[in-house]
A = this chain, B = another copy of it.
Amino acid sequence: MGVEIKENYIVRDYTPHDENDLICEYFVEPKKISLEKAAQKIASESGIGSWADVKTLTQKQFDALSPKVFYLSKKENIIQIAYPKELFEAGNISQILSNVAGNVLGMSDFKSIKLLDINFPSGFIRKYIGPHYGVKGIRKIMHIYERPMLSTVIKPRLGLDEKEYSKIAHDSWLGGCDFVVDDEALTSLVNNDFDKRMHYVFGVKKEVEKVTGEKKAYIPNVSAPYSEMLRRAKIVVKNGGDFVMVNVMTVGFSAIQELRKLDLRIVLYGHKTMYAALTQGSNGISMLVIAKIARLIGFDMFNIGGEVEGKRKESVIIGEEIEESVVSKDIFQHRLQEDWLDQKPIMAVCSGGIHPGKVRKLIHALGRDIIIQGGGAVHAHPGGTIAGAEAMKQAIDAEMLGLIPKIYAKSHPELAIALKEWKD
């Protein structure tokens, strides 16, 4: 006690070990200090340091638990830090984020600071329960093994009563949608009660399945305080449902881990609502980090957005992260490598302004193991919801036949109308 600790966290020749180190990549714009000094501050604050010169730490303790800044680029404003695994509770995502995305993100020494990626030690990946179904399990439930699947969110997102809602679900399925998904803000509302909605929509689902001979799925949003969320999930199961949706950020990791652990034999779909509060702008956490946590804590499906073009290609980077077994490092996209061991791949759900004209690009960028989710494009089709669903399905069929949409549209008027209605 009382010794003077030598604090130096920059160790450029350090080579991290996948068994021993948790690696974080940060984007940092320092305010009035050098990037080296900023890196020291981040390593200290997210490690074992304090703003004051604490007397209760020995040099031995310091050396054993000290994070190491092993990469630092002034050109890119990037640093990488290797944290000894002893600083973390492996299976406790709350603890891990408290360390690497806690106080450091609020320090006044930086103009901006963002946690871009975390590479977990393999021992950590093994500690998490992971997805139950994943891509294969979902395809088995749906009896769809080759093509991308088609989903829609009912519009208007709020305002329809249970019966009106089920009517539009009916038309969406009839037109060719495989999935109907609740909006992230549709839970149990005054004019659209959860239990009643389940009754109507699952009733309609059975009807359409009989008519079409196809498996259809409804994904109700069960996001709520935990015991109510659990009650709603059980009602879904009771109604013969196979899927539920949960808002990852507004419900929170801890309750979701519990729901996964109970293993109610339902596929878990993670919605990213409120993500922008963390991921957009100067300070925060990247969407990639949230997607990785979603895989660790056991989602089977995750909404990755629809950004597959341009410089960022965020959806592509995240799509690979959740669907590959071994994810390679991408220095341009600031993605670290990751070995997912036996954790199943999550099915990526693509959504956000998607219409038939974008389907081809989505599949080319992300492959066939995706669910393409159209909201507006399905329900705002000039021919109505059934035609809107047909047009989206036709866009997928065209791609599976190796035809460009324009050609296929010659014999499919719904697609022709959609391609005319919405351009990129």
Name A residues whose Cβ lies closer than 8 Å to a Cβ of B.
1-2, 47-57, 61-62, 64-65, 86-89, 91-95, 97-99, 101-103, 105-106, 112, 115, 154-160, 164, 168, 184-185, 187-191, 223-229, 247, 250-258, 261, 271, 273-285, 353, 355, 375-377, 379-381, 384-385, 422
Assess the A102–B184 pair: CB atoms within 8 A: yes
Assess the A226–B278 pair: CB atoms within 8 A: no
Other-chain residue from B99, B106, B160, B228 in contact with A61 (beta carbon distance below 8 A): B160
C-alpha spacing A101/B249, complex, angstroms: 11
C-alpha spacing A143/B123, complex, angstroms: 46
**Would you give the shortest CB distance from A289 to chain B, in whole angstroms?**
10
**Would you give the shortest CB distance from A122 to chain B, in whole angstroms?**
16
**Would you give the shortest CB distance from A281 to chain B, in whole angstroms?**
4
Name the CB-closest residue of B to A260: B225
Residues of B with C-beta under 8 A to A224: 89, 92, 94-95, 254
Other-chain residue from B1, B105, B254, B355 in contact with A225 (beta carbon distance below 8 A): B254
Assess the A285–B277 pair: CB atoms within 8 A: yes
Residues of B with C-beta under 8 A to A256: 252, 254
Residues of B with C-beta under 8 A to A273: 97-98, 102-103
Assess the B91–A185 pair: CB atoms within 8 A: no
C-alpha spacing A279/B51, complex, angstroms: 22
C-alpha spacing A257/B227, complex, angstroms: 9
Other-chain residue from B87, B99, B276, B385 in contact with A55 (beta carbon distance below 8 A): B385
C-alpha spacing A49/B229, complex, angstroms: 26
Sorted nearest first, the 8 A-B pairs with minimum C-beta distance are: A252-B252, A52-B376, A106-B276, A52-B380, A254-B255, A281-B283, A105-B276, A281-B282
**A54 and B105 in contact, given A185-B99, A191-B86, A226-B255 (Cβ under 8 angstroms):** no
Other-chain residue from B53, B65, B247 in contact with A158 (beta carbon distance below 8 A): B65
**A65 and B159 in contact, given A225-B258, A258-B255, A385-B55 (Cβ under 8 angstroms):** yes
Assess the B379–A98 pair: CB atoms within 8 A: no
Other-chain residue from B48, B62, B250, B279 in contact with A157 (beta carbon distance below 8 A): B48
Other-chain residue from B88, B229, B253, B384 in contact with A1 (beta carbon distance below 8 A): B384
C-alpha spacing A390/B274, complex, angstroms: 44
Other-chain residue from B49, B156, B278 in contact with A277 (beta carbon distance below 8 A): B278
From A91, A95, A99, name the one whose CB has the most chain B CB atoms within 10 angstroms. Answer: A95
Residues of B with C-beta under 8 A to A49: 156
Q: A89-B187, A95-B224, A278-B278 are in contact. List 17 more A-B contacts (CB 8 A).
A: A48-B156, A48-B158, A48-B159, A52-B355, A52-B375, A52-B379, A54-B376, A57-B159, A98-B247, A98-B274, A101-B250, A102-B274, A224-B254, A227-B261, A251-B252, A252-B252, A281-B284
Residues of B with C-beta under 8 A to A188: 89, 92
Q: Please, could you name 17 A-B residue pairs with CB atoms under 8 Å apart, sorted by A?
A: A48-B156, A50-B156, A50-B157, A50-B379, A65-B158, A88-B189, A92-B223, A92-B224, A92-B228, A94-B187, A98-B184, A98-B223, A102-B274, A115-B277, A225-B257, A226-B226, A278-B284
Assess the B379–A185 pair: CB atoms within 8 A: no
Assess the B168–A56 pair: CB atoms within 8 A: yes
**A375 and B50 in contact, given A253-B250, A280-B106, A283-B281 (Cβ under 8 angstroms):** yes
